[in-house]
């Protein structure tokens, strides 16, 4: 598991909380602060490659498309991403993106 830091929402608590995310090839971005998506997704991709998980699904939701565009922008720049596209209908359609990662070697 990878530790991801998420700010507490309580006014009285300014410490960072450690959130453990399973490295299993699927990440749902709904629960994360949009400002954290860049670091979160880059760290998650790196962790997947380290664990030999080369097919991943990123759930960003359908909404206005803003988060999907941000995810695709990150994927375009990441050196371990070989290919990505919208997920098939049974895996989220345009509410999710599937990506094929390159191994480190």
Domains and CATH numbers, the chain: 2-101 (3.30.1370.110)
pLDDT digit string, tens, across residues 39-73 = 999 999 999 999 999 999 999 999 999 999 999 99
Pairing of strands 96-101, 55-59: antiparallel
Q: How far is the C-alpha of 88 from the C-alpha of 95, rounded, in Å?
A: 10
- In 10 A of CB 40, how many CB atoms? 21
The Cα–Cα gap between 28 and 64 comes to: 17
- Alpha helix (H) residue ranges in 1-105: 37-50, 66-77
pTM, to two decimals? 0.82
Q: Is residue 14's pLDDT more than 50?
A: no
Each residue of 81-102: pLDDT tens digit?
999 999 999 999 999 999 999 9
């Amino acid at each position: 598991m990878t530790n991801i830091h998420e700010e507490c929402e309580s006014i009285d608590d300014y410490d960072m909380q450690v959130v453990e995310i399973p490295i299993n090839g699927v990440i749902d971005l709904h629960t994360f602060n949009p400002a954290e998506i860049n670091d979160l997704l880059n760290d998650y991709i790196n962790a997947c490659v380290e664990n030999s998980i080369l097919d991943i699904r990123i759930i960003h939701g359908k909404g206005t498309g803003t988060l999907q565009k941000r995810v695709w922008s990150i994927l375009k720049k990441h050196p371990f991403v070989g290919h990505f596209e919208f997920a098939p209908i049974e895996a989220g359609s345009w509410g999710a993106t599937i990506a094929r990662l390159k191994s480190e070697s």
